[in-house]
Amino acid sequence: MRRAGLLALLAGTSAMLLAPSRASAHAPGTYGFGSRGAAMGGAVAADAVDFSAGYYNPAGLVGAPGLSISLGYAYSSNDLRMNDQPSGTRDVHGLSGGLVAPGTLAGIPFAFGLSTFLPDDGLSRIKALRQETPRWELYDDRLSILFLAANLAIRPLPWLEVGGGLAFLASTRGGFKVKGRANVLSPYESKLTHEVDADLTTIRYPQLGVRARAGDLGFIGLTYRGQAQLPLAIDANLNGIVDFAGIEVPLAYELESRTIDGFLPQQLVLGLSFQRIQRLKINLDLTWVNWSAYESPVAKTRAHLDAETPPGLDIDLPDDPRPTVPIPLDFVDRIVPRLGVEYLWAAAGPLRDVAGETTPRRALEVPLRVGYLYERSPIPPQTGVTNYVDTDRHTFSIGAGVWWNHPGEVLPGALKLDLHAQLSLLPERIIEKASAADFVGDYRARGTMVSGGGTLTAAF
């Protein structure tokens, strides 16, 4: 038995443990949350009063005209390329929705809201790569994960709304154990048992929001989202006997891996919503994203092998691997501008009283929306060993809907169907390596992302 035989066995065990699933972006932050927010480029921090306020600005929940329940679906097709070859980035798709329940407490208006995004292909994904391996860091390694937010909001003054709560994400922890007898010459005669133990753990971070009325001009909103990181902990343990031509060698192999599998930076959003012109809303959001705090996704591992070698048998055991030293990322904070416009067309039908509204509304109304955002890449040129791929992002969005106001006594509010579509363009970025001997070499990166979806809301 030589070193190669042992390494092959251990490599196979580690591969089963660390085999990555393809990961995807955190959907609410990248593709929008709900069809209205997505159609307006996410520029709704001063204007969201439905379930999406649970992400954009919790204070807006108290502005809801009444109880509402929403359910939606969105799909994003990601075509991200390096040197004109597909990078294998997964598409992102899932359900979104929530509820808003307003009321009064001691004469003070308040509201409770629940908001969620549920991927329809798994609650949590993991991906572990070496820092030299090229990857679209902000879209490939940021997770497609379960998002849930619970918030409360109050209106202490007629012109002031305040809200906040907690957002929940799902992280993964797991273990892998193998024991038994492995026959090197006759693998089918091996008798191995394995045990896998994995669970989801909850990661919480705060959300706070303020919304103020600026006279008849509209609203000003301010939102804070806390930082969240998803630790990934995997432990592997192998105990058994390797049988090589009748020579039995007991061995034990231990592996520990610790990494930050997902990182959501803290954000501060200033939103303006101009509503002086009847039925027209023009929104502008500026989002500060604390990318400089981004933590390296490189795994910190410890591995050790013990073997009881029979007397006179020459077995050259491999040394314990050196620990990986993550290279500083040096990401840069960014300001992301977002613009959204909405016009509500009173399409047809008689005027009707709508629950929660002070003035009658047409039976059928059609909202028309457009949006735009520009996100400059926070990742510096990858001229050294690391290959965290990214480019700037221009996102154009459109949307429309049909609102059926007061369709019946059971539904004194409205039945709303909203649709949206997005196109994100990631212009080409050329990376030139400082060393001509770099293993990866120079490369070009570019891409497009096409998204669409709908949201159905019942307002009571």
Structural domains of the chain in order of their starting residue, each with its CATH number: 3-459 (2.40.160.60)
pLDDT confidence of residue 15: 36
38 membership: H or E segment, kind and range: helix 35-39
pLDDT confidence of residue 171: 65
Per-position b or e across 184-217, b if 16+ CB within 10 A of its CB: beeeeeeeeeeeeeeeeeebebebbbbbebeeee
pLDDT confidence of residue 184: 61
pLDDT tens-place values along the chain, 460 residues long: 344 444 344 434 343 333 333 333 467 888 999 999 999 999 999 999 999 999 999 999 999 999 999 999 999 999 999 999 998 888 889 999 999 999 998 899 999 999 999 888 765 555 566 778 888 988 874 455 778 999 999 999 999 999 999 998 766 666 667 677 766 667 677 776 767 666 667 788 999 999 999 999 999 999 999 998 877 777 878 787 877 667 777 878 787 877 777 788 999 999 999 999 999 999 999 999 999 999 888 777 788 877 777 776 666 667 777 777 788 889 999 999 999 999 999 999 999 999 988 899 999 999 999 999 999 999 999 999 899 999 999 999 999 999 999 999 889 999 999 999 999 999 999 999 999 888 889 999 999 999 999 999 999 9
CB 377 within 8 A of CB 390: yes
Distance CA 258, CA 264 (A): 18
Count of CA atoms in the C-beta half-sphere (13 A) of 110: 9
Give pLDDT tens digits for 173-184: 666 676 777 666
